Copies of this chain bind each other. A is one copy, B any other.
């Protein structure tokens, strides 16, 4: 497994991806997949831009890693993602045979790697994934909080403008 400094480095790369979502006014979540210390896949949430319901950060990173490896099995890899994966992404992580997941901040509403569900450690499924949390947690949570605060302010402004018309 990676040292704390290495984990923080890879999470900072996932945060760079989250900022790419933010620039496009998408929910800012980013992801990188690492094999033997090298990033083999990167992804950021791009649902609105691509008009694809499934295009979460983890899915984009898994697709890129599958392509770069020429294999749907991502054996001996670690996935770093800024926010706890949802049900779909937790399922995809298991299907891709990823070894370990490190996430920054929990998602109490949609998280499926410990919050609502614990998909990655389900003994009934045919692949288990080690999970670690809390790496650069404050930064990963902050970028989400800023995004949703700005969106609420924008909605209030829009509502006021509409009312004034």
* Chain A residues packing against B (C-beta within 8 Å): 47-48, 50-55, 59, 62-63, 66-67, 70-74, 86-92, 94-97, 109-110, 112, 116-117, 119, 122, 124-126
Contact = CB atoms under 8 A, between A and B. Distances in A.
A98 B95 CA distance: 22
State the copy count for this chain.
Answer: 2
A50 B63 CA distance: 10
Best-surrounded residue of A47, A66, A88 (most CB of chain B within 10 A): A88
A159 B71 CA distance: 24
Given A91-B112, A116-B124, A119-B87, A72 B96 contact: no
Contacts of A51: 66-67, 70-72
B53 A72 contact: yes
Q: Taking chain A's interface residues, is the majority helix, strand, or loop, or is none over half, making it mixed?
A: loop
B54 A95 contact: yes
7 closest A-B pairs (Cβ-Cβ)?
Answer: A88-B91, A87-B91, A53-B96, A53-B72, A88-B92, A53-B95, A51-B72
A47 to B, nearest CB: 5
A109 to B, nearest CB: 8
Contacts of A97: 53
